Structures are given as C-alpha cells and as structure tokens.
Amino acid sequence: MDNTWVNRKKKLETYMQDQQLDGMLITSPTNVYYLTNFDSDPHERFLAYYMNSGGEEWLFVPQLDLQAAKQESNVASIIGIEDGVNPYDVLLRTMKQEPARLGIEKGIMTVARYEQLIKALDHPICIDLEDALLSLRIIKSNDEIMKVQRAVDIVEQVMGAAAKLAAVGMSELELAAEIEYQMRKQGADRPAFETMVLFGARSALPHGKPSGAKLQRGDFVLIDIGVQAGGYCSDITRTFVMGEPTEEQKRIYHTVLAANEAAIAASRSGITFAELDQVARALIVEAGYGALFTHRLGHGFGMEVHEQPSVSAGNNKQVEAGMLFTVEPGIYHPTLGGVRIEDNIYIAESGEAKVLTSYPKHLIQLGQ
C-alpha cells in the first residue's frame, strides 16, 4: 500500500489507542475516499469503512459498487451489501469483536442510522471522530496540492471562457449554463458547488443564485466558480464590469483588491486566522465600506469545497505549513452591486504562502 494511505491509517490507529476505542465506523463518502481511495456516491445505500483496535479493516459497499471498489480501493476485505439486507447485521457478523467504545462521525450519521447501529451492536458508547478526521485532512500533502492545482488550472480556463462569452442581454442563467458546459469541456468531473453568476445590483448578494436577470452596460459581473477534478476542488471568484466603470465602482473594486493582496502578503506560518481576517478588514473599514464586508475572509478546502480552517475573526488558531485556504474579501453595495476577489492559498513547508490561482485581478472591462 502507498505510504500516503499507510500514514493516514496509522494516525487513526494512534487516535483509537489514545481514546481507548474498540473500533471506528466511518460513513462519510469523502472520508471513506480519503482513507480507502474508493470514491463513491452511495445515495441512500450503506457505505462504510470499519477499523478495529487491532488495525484490521473492512470496506462495506453497495453490491452494485463491489467490482469498482475491488479495482480502486486499497482495502483487502471488501463486503458487498445487497439491497434489502440490513447493513448493520452484516457489520455485526463481520466484526471480530463487538465494540464497547465505537468512533463515529456524529455530524454525518442520521438519527435513523444511529438507532439501527446501537440496536445491532447492543448500545456501544459512541465517540465523535469528526475532529480527528478534520485534523488529518487540514494538512495537505504535496500530492494533494498537485491535484488541487489541476482543479485550479481547469477553473481558470473556464473563467477566461466566461469573460469572453458574457454579453449585454445575456441572462445570469444563460452564462451559468455556458460556464458549466466549459467545466466539462476543460476536464472537470463536476462543479464543486452551484455556479454563481450575478449581474448589477444582484452581485451584492454574497450567496446569490443565478436568475433570469439580463446583463446591462455598467453592471458589475460577479462569477464565483469551482470544479472538482480527481477528487479535489478549486474555488475562485472574479468580478468584472460590463463596459466603463464609474468612479465609485473603481473605488470599491480597488479597495477589495488591496484587501485581497494585503491578506495574501500576510499569509504565513505563525499568524492567526483572526489576524489575517483583520488585515483585510481594516483596509475595507478605512475606506468606509466596513459595514458592507459581511462575511469571513475565507475558508479551507480540498476534497470538499468548505473544510477547516475557518479564516475568520473568531479563529485564533495559527496558520501552519500544509494548510490550504481561500482569501476572498468583498464589498456588497446594495445599489451598485458587489465585488469579491478570491484566491487559493497554500502554505508551503517554508511557511510562506504559495498562491495557486493566477487569473488576472485588475479590473477587466467586458465587451470592449
């Protein structure tokens, strides 16, 4: 087995010993993939990775995924579960010893499945594994960063295509559809999240959804997109203007750009995430737009588009080598619209920040 997988599992074994766990049942498809190399969406069916205190492991998959799991997984013992079979009965029969203390992902498991689990296993004490798994995933390996970089490269090609396709009279939904077509064309497996295309005043909605609103001259054009490729995500935002910007639009844009660049320059091992947030926020406050920067500075990502760490005013943890996160300050003016500029940052072994995104950040005028 590749050392990457061995190291991840050894860290989990150490955690099991420290917590005196008899077993761990991992049911999040993302975490199953992280540990086993088997990437699957089981829908309503049962998917789980189980490891006991002796380091023995099993992968439970829907019967229809059995052959794929045998080809892709690094786990030797793979159990297929047919439709209509109680998966917890299969789990109980497979275990060498019924666990008295069991690790599970409490935020992932539904109440219905939890009730089935504790009934089948005679009410074990359940310990939450999510923090342990997040602590594994928060530090990215060089191999993971190479995969993220591929996802970034794809999405930047898509962003370039979107800038060329945007035209007066086009709706947000039309441009979003073109963008998602380009994602597939450029080699993405899927969008990493719902594509965000917002025009004019609607660009002031930080989490707005594309609508039938039509692009007009003078509008801000905010595009927030990401792809998943090879199991890893990218997440980038750029804001354009259709035609000539007003002086106020220029001022808003350059304030956000200054905040983005200052936070990136400050990103290094040892600084806290709260301090990073403050670096960007202080510039926006100084320019008089503090009340219009309504969200945290950024977030971690990787196999999922939102992971730890949170780059926010309330997070006093320090930045460490191996961490991957976004820097995305914004100003959201209710009538002029919003500007957000988002880059993807990796902290190298040296402790310095490496910017994975390279799409231009000057104010680009579309339709010229």
Contact (Cβ atoms closer than 8 angstroms) between residue 329 and residue 284: yes
How would you classify the pairing of strands 236-242 and 365-366?
parallel
CB atoms within 10 A of CB 23: 24
CA–CA–CA angle 325, 328, 329 (5° rounding): 140
pLDDT tens digits for the chain (368 residues)?
567 888 888 888 899 999 999 999 999 999 999 999 999 999 899 999 999 998 899 999 999 999 999 999 999 999 999 999 999 999 999 987 899 999 999 999 999 999 999 999 989 999 999 989 988 999 999 999 999 999 999 999 999 999 999 999 999 999 999 999 999 999 999 999 999 999 999 999 999 999 999 999 999 999 999 999 999 999 999 999 999 999 999 999 999 999 999 999 999 999 999 999 999 999 999 999 999 999 999 999 999 999 999 999 999 999 999 999 999 999 999 999 999 999 999 999 999 999 999 999 999 999 87
Query: Which residue is it, tokens 């219905």?
Result: 112
- Strands (DSSP E) contained in the chain are 23-26, 48-52, 57-62, 78-81, 101-104, 125-128, 190-191, 196-199, 220-225, 227-229, 232-233, 236-242, 298-300, 307-311, 324-327, 330-333, 337-340, 343-347, 353-355, 365-366
Tell me, what's the pLDDT at 314? 96
CA dihedral of residues 110, 112, 117, 120 (deg, nearest 10): -170
Please tell me the pTM assigned to this model.
0.94
Tell me, what's the pLDDT at 1? 58
Tell me, what's the pLDDT at 300? 97
pLDDT (tens digit, 9 = 90+) per residue, 42-87? 989 999 999 999 889 999 999 999 999 999 999 999 999 999 999 9
Residue type, 135: S
Tell me, what's the pLDDT at 95? 87
Contact (Cβ atoms closer than 8 angstroms) between residue 317 and residue 309: yes
Tell me, what's the pLDDT at 128? 95
